[in-house]
Amino acid sequence: MEKQVAAVQMVEYLERVGVEVMYGMCGHTLVQMLDALSRSKINFVSCRHEQLAAHIADGYARVSGKPGVVLTHVGPGLTNAITGIATASLDSVPMVVITGNIQSYGFGRGPHQEVNLHADADQIEICRPICKRVYRVTRADDLPRVLERAFHIAQSGRKGVVLVDVPMDFFSTELPVGSFKQTPAPIANPAISEEQARLVAEALAKAERPVLYVGGGIHIARATKELIALAEALEVPVATSLMGKGSLPDAHPLLLGTTGYWGQPVANELCRNADLIVAVATRFAETDCSSWDPEFTFDIPKSRLIHIDIDAGEIGRNYQAELGIVADAKQALGMIAKAAKGMEHRNRGNLRKTIADGRASFQTRWAEQRESTEFPLRPERVIADVRKALPEDGFIVTDVGWNKNGVGQQMALNVPGTMITPGGMATMGFGHAAVLGAKYAAPDRAAVALIGDGCFSSNVGVIATAVEQKLPVVWVVMDNASYGVISGIEKRHLGGTYGCMFESDGKPYHIDFATIARAFGANGVAIERADQLEGAVRDALASGVPTVIQVPVQLVPTPTTGHWEINRMFRKPN
């Protein structure tokens, strides 16, 4: 029987299931895989740090719809990737992580970099709480089954991360040619029935003050068209979570905006006073729901709730539902919209005017800041200028802080899926890496990372990966020499900013990111006046070269319109 090295067959299998790129770093446990990849159509992107690799794969998966694939080394290679793995898992991003482990015959003897404090070769246990599934390969001939299962599970139901742990000697084992036969079967997601769809449509039609509330699962399911069709058929306003932003174009007259602590007042108000909420593909996260306080965003069960989600575990977890439906968002919304077509609904009165007036009133509050010539710049001006320079179908990739909250609250998005943000983990260090994955998946579309100086300084090696891979992304670094949101919380409640500021000898400490960028072979631009930013972003996008734009910004809080329970917890000491 003809045999071939397992790693060679694995790489051929990855090609067959559609993998075009893998992200990771080298290590002695991966040498056999790297050799196989060197003769493959798959591009292995060396990312300088495994956390960067996981975040880049995450951004790639969100844009392409394909699983991101990460290759990590034993021990520190895997532990470095853990934050990125957790970020993808909590945002339901499909990802397969293949990690090398020590040789199978050395378990427990303490080979180089073995994790064995509580059990032999035990690194998988570190990842169990943050993965949808963890596989330890215990026999080389089980590799084909495990790899097929990994890609199946990562993409089925509520998508997520699957870890495949492979002892390094198994990569080198010879297996019969053709061992990797089975590829993941086509997946039929759970579906709403015609009767259930009709019941939901009728409930929306009969309700006096209904609201459609949607989350990030709308983007995962590519369900925007179906959402619009339903909203327009029954004249129902749409509110979104932060992750759901962009599900309805900002220009749409039925869009309320985002809800919660950093949401828009009209969205919070109409959700709180709704008599029926139909929630789709959302987990009702804390900041989106003003810490579930009924005074601010949602007053459920006073408002009736119908909750549709692909994950049965999310239904009823934070709010009691009178009806829960386990279904794919695209299929469910499509069926409900079909049932609603031609159905009579209650007169919505001046709903569209109420929405328009509410949104305009809120945006008018910040008109002066969006046009301010102050320097350092107002954050509102940064967001406004980036929006002007970025094409409508360009990606805005955020990190955490003013950039994430401000974009969610104030930046108009009219093309679905163009905002990429770390929702579940709110991970600092996500944005400057994930933008590379977005650009790799959609090379013909602009990609801008709007991030803070705290994010960018955490791992500037991402510039090297962008230069090596010729990915002309743009990083707009909002530099206020601080971890701005946390410093604002501490100052507001306790009067200080200890541990939150970047200082040297009591003075603000600014890193010269523009010069660092040029040292890596990228472009570096330092903004010195408020009127320079928009043009700098346009020039960077046109240059075809990775570019860092460093923007001094004022340390001011993001406007808050809802509630966050942590603000009641802090106490000044006696």
For 161-223, the three-class secondary structure string (H helix, E strand, C coil) is EEEEEEEHHHHHCEEECCCCCCCCCCCCCCCCCHHHHHHHHHHHHHCCCEEEEECCHHHHCCC
At residue 471, the pLDDT reads: 98
Does residue 1 surpass a pLDDT of 90? no
At residue 138, the pLDDT reads: 96
Distances in Å between the alpha carbon of 278 and those of 239, 241, 304, 307? 10, 13, 8, 6
Residue 231: band (very low, low, confident or very high) from pLDDT cuts 50, 70, 90? very high
Q: Is 406 helix (H, G, I), strand (E, B) or coil?
A: helix
At residue 187, the pLDDT reads: 86
At residue 532, the pLDDT reads: 98
At residue 302, the pLDDT reads: 97
H helical segments located in 173-216: 194-206
pLDDT tens-digit map of 433-481: 999 999 999 999 999 999 999 999 999 999 999 999 999 999 999 999 9
- Token pair 């470095």 is found at 80
Does residue 488 surpass a pLDDT of 90? yes
Q: Which of 477, 471, 382, 383 minimizes the C-alpha distance to 435?
A: 471
Residue 366: band (very low, low, confident or very high) from pLDDT cuts 50, 70, 90? confident
Residue 213: band (very low, low, confident or very high) from pLDDT cuts 50, 70, 90? very high
- Segment 286-307 shows an average pLDDT of 98
**Pairwise CA distance, residues 371 & 364, whole Å:** 12
Query: Is the separation of the CB atoms in 541 and 488 below 8 Å?
Result: no
Residue 237: band (very low, low, confident or very high) from pLDDT cuts 50, 70, 90? very high
- Segment 329-350 shows an average pLDDT of 97
Domains annotated for the chain, with CATH where assigned, are 3-176 (3.40.50.970), 194-360 (3.40.50.1220), 366-552 (3.40.50.970)
Q: Is 478 helix (H, G, I), strand (E, B) or coil?
A: strand
- Segment 276-301 shows an average pLDDT of 98
At residue 202, the pLDDT reads: 98
At residue 37, the pLDDT reads: 98
Does residue 56 surpass a pLDDT of 90? yes
Find all residues with CB under 8 Å of 367, minimum gap 6, and list them. Answer: none
- Segment 515-538 shows an average pLDDT of 98
The mean predicted confidence, pLDDT, of the chain is: 96
Query: Is the separation of the CB atoms in 105 and 169 below 8 Å?
Result: yes
At residue 234, the pLDDT reads: 98
DSSP conformational letter for 505? T
Least confident of 128-137, 163-172, 178-187, 246-255: 178-187
